[in-house]
Copies of this chain bind each other. A is one copy, B any other.
């Protein structure tokens, strides 16, 4: 096991302290809690919180800032934070206009965030939540995981929230983004967990996984290593079908690296995606290529399509000031 770290027990805390120190102008770590908040939160408005297990950096702390999230709660690596941590985050950003909680669809996250919601309600804080389930690799949609598409939901809901919209409106906007976003991933190699130095799954050197999650778990099927072109075809077809995308429609695209994938490979993949979209008359209005929702040092990527109307496009393009999204 090789990692740049001190004691693995403290890795999340030290990461958050490093994050805070790197952006003293606008980020603050809550004392005693693994929560990063937007420190100059002055306006009385609906505020947004998200989070989950760590290991997905820059998610979620990298998305805290004006125009996006107001707080991010960081659990241990790949492990949802407990409700006490989440509650503390909610309390820290509550401006009595309501707090929207953006949850990725994993049993652990959903249970812990919902417990926090219950606790917040008991403390008289007005909250509501949405659950992101963009991963088309998993069949049934109630079971679908939340993966990289979640970042678009953060951005769009965040852009709505600073317009002073009501909790109901911000939630509706977030849900609209969720309804229009789909993702699917592939992995070439597992990640290495800091706590035990073991690969998260076993895979031979000539195989890859299709339809994996972002927690180092294997995918839904294994194949030979495909070419960039074949991968792009598989992913684009899945996303297009699931979204029911038609000629003339507009989308934003994210090619998301899982942590150890050279940007070169992400750009090669995007080149294929762009050609496929052009061939089927789908217009890409904005492109994001990079590490947005990672899985430690997993080798692989995911592709996300967000179908955009003018409203979603404007929200996506609205100004934002965070460490890792713009």
Contacts and interface: CB of A to CB of B under 8 A. Distances in A.
A268 B299 contact: no
B287 A23 contact: yes
Nearest to A188: B2
Interface in A1-45: 1-6, 11-12, 14-19, 21-23
Contacts of A83: none
Interface in A137-165: none
A309 interface: no
A189 interface: yes
A271 B55 contact: no
B4 A231 contact: yes
B301 A268 contact: no
Contacts of A270: 18, 21-22
B21 A271 contact: yes
A59 to B, nearest CB: 10
B274 A18 contact: yes
Nearest to A270: B18
Contact of A15 (B16, B267, B274): B267
A92 interface: no
Contacts of A54: 264
A6 B267 contact: no
A297 B294 contact: no
Interface in A178-203: 186, 188-189
A228 interface: yes
A203 to B, nearest CB: 9
A264 B60 CA distance: 11
Interface in A259-307: 259-272, 274, 284, 287, 289-291, 294, 296-297, 299-301
Nearest to A10: B268
19 contacts: A2-B188, A4-B269, A5-B227, A5-B228, A5-B265, A5-B268, A6-B268, A11-B264, A11-B268, A18-B269, A18-B270, A21-B274, A22-B287, A54-B264, A55-B262, A57-B262, A57-B263, A263-B294, A290-B324
